[in-house]
Amino acid sequence: MIWSENKTVSPHDLDLNNIMSASAILRALQDAAYDHMYYTPPSMDDLRREGKVFLLSRISMTVYAPIRVCEGVVAETWACESKGVSFLRCSRLLRNGEPVAELSAIWALLDVESGRLLRVTEYPQSYSNEPPLDVTAPARIRIPRDVEMTLAGEYTVSYNDVDINRHVNNTNYPDILCGFLGSMEGKRAVKVCINYIKEAPLGDTLKVYVTPGEEEDSYLFRTVRSDGAVNVEAYIVLDKAES
């Protein structure tokens, strides 16, 4: 079952280039996924009452064109055939019937009391699966531990970063990371791949490391919590904002 909903781009979604930021695009796609589960239960709140919570493991997002204020887009999202403890969900934004952003996301379902990851066969979803998207951004990031990375700076997690779980909301990471690439004037993120490894709790200070990637204007990131644990690893590719 493909869930579809109409959206209008808000001024609050825009960055300094007057286009939707990478985090705003990811947020619109995640909002559609939340609505899909809300209106075809079990919802996120239903699962929380059962002591279960979905945790995002990794995303791969491609943005094909700039998206501007007051443009009407259609958000589509659906569950895909999954196995083991990895739940695959795909989403996209359409403008005039053409995709302007596509997302592939892997989630894990945690039993909070036991700390056990639940298998796909233990989750009674109420809708059918659909075929996955072939997102052009890499599906997985692997940064060898011996790769030399430069400390770009530190980031302290504050009130505006966190959600009800009291750690950085997954949709905030693209813009946080882009903030360590110098000026984003005239640039936009066109590929965003993130491995979510450990949550970044409220008040923690992250060390942000970066090194150039293999593609033109691409970057590899690793963020490290104050306890030394890796928080996220990411790969971001930039292009001209007007391209």
- Per-residue pLDDT at 243: 62
CATH of residue 164's domain is 3.10.129.10
Q: What is the pLDDT of residues 191-225, one digit of tens each?
A: 999 999 999 999 999 999 999 998 999 999 999 99
Owning domain of residue 56:
3-240
**What is the per-residue DSSP string for 74-137?**
EEEEEEB--BTTBEEEEEEEEETTEEEEEEEEEEEEEETTTTEEEPGGG---SS--BPPP--SS
User: Is the pLDDT score of 142 beyond 90?
Assistant: no
Reduced to 3 states (helix: H, G, I; strand: E, B; else coil), residue 177 is helix
Residue 119, phi then psi, degrees to nearest 5:
-80, 160
pTM of the model: 0.96
Compare 240 and 140 and report the one with higher pLDDT. Answer: 240
Q: What is the mean pLDDT of the chain?
A: 96
Range 146-156 average pLDDT: 95
- Per-residue pLDDT at 136: 82
Number of structural domains the chain divides into = 1
- Per-residue pLDDT at 97: 97
